[in-house]
């Protein structure tokens, strides 16, 4: 399978799964309701986050918060396409990471466009200490970022046989 098809399948699958689960959630639970899955550890909740990650700027004026997140999301998506063009055809792990981030960004952008906030539903906690609620899109963004970070630390790129050592030492 070629790179564009692989990336499209991953990104569309992530965005679609994210949106389908959110459609079900909005139909099944009123906002702020929750279902205990593992009491004291994990619940399904219906939360609406008007901000960014960890509710960044959630309390900011909507008149500039929404345009800010639309512009930031659009720029991130454009940059992801740029980075994807730089990834070699054989680097499937990097393609998966970037496509997962892309699908997550698209999933959350759809929420902002339709609802003015991102629907979150995964609530992990210990007693009364809660991690901020998140969703499938956020999960793939986080997984993709971890993969990119790990790749940058631990994977050494092989030198192209046609490239001289003098060119790589610059």
What's the pLDDT score for residue 58? Answer: 66
- With a CB cutoff of 8 Å and minimum separation 6, the contacts of 136 are 14, 17, 18, 21, 104, 107
| Whether 138 is catalytic | yes
pLDDT tens digits for range 70-83? 899 999 999 999 99
pLDDT tens digits for range 89-104? 999 999 999 999 999 9
What's the pLDDT score for residue 46? Answer: 97
Pair of tokens at residue 69: 């997140």
| Whether 18 is catalytic | no
- What radius of gyration, in Å, describes the C-alpha atoms of the chain? 19
Q: Catalytic residue, from 18, 111, 123, 138: name it.
A: 138
Strand order in the sheet with 118-126: 34-38, 42-49, 118-126, 129-130
pLDDT tens digits for range 14-71? 999 999 999 999 999 999 999 999 999 999 999 999 877 766 776 777 777 888 888 9
Q: Catalytic residue, from 18, 111, 120, 123: name it.
A: 120
Mean pLDDT of the chain: 89
- DSSP letter string over 5-53? HHHHHHHHHHHHHHHHHHHHHHHHS-TT-EEEEETTTEEEEEEEE-SSG
């Amino acid at each position: 399978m070629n790179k564009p098809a692989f990336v499209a399948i991953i990104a569309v699958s992530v965005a679609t799964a994210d949106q389908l689960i959110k459609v079900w959630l909005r139909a099944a639970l009123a906002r702020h309701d929750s279902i205990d899955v593992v009491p004291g550890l994990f619940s399904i909740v219906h939360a609406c986050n008007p901000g960014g990650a960890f509710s960044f700027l959630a309390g900011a004026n909507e008149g500039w918060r929404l345009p800010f997140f639309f512009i930031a999301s659009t720029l991130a998506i454009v940059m992801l396409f740029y980075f994807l063009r730089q990834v070699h055809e054989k680097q499937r792990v990097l393609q998966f990471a970037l496509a997962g981030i892309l699908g997550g960004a698209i999933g959350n952008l759809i929420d902002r466009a339709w609802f003015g906030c991102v629907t979150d539903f995964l609530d992990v906690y210990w007693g009364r200490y809660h991690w901020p609620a998140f969703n499938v899109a956020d999960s793939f963004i986080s997984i993709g970022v971890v993969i990119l970070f790990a790749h940058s630390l631990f994977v050494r790129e092989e030198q192209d046989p046609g490239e001289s050592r003098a060119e790589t030492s610059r």
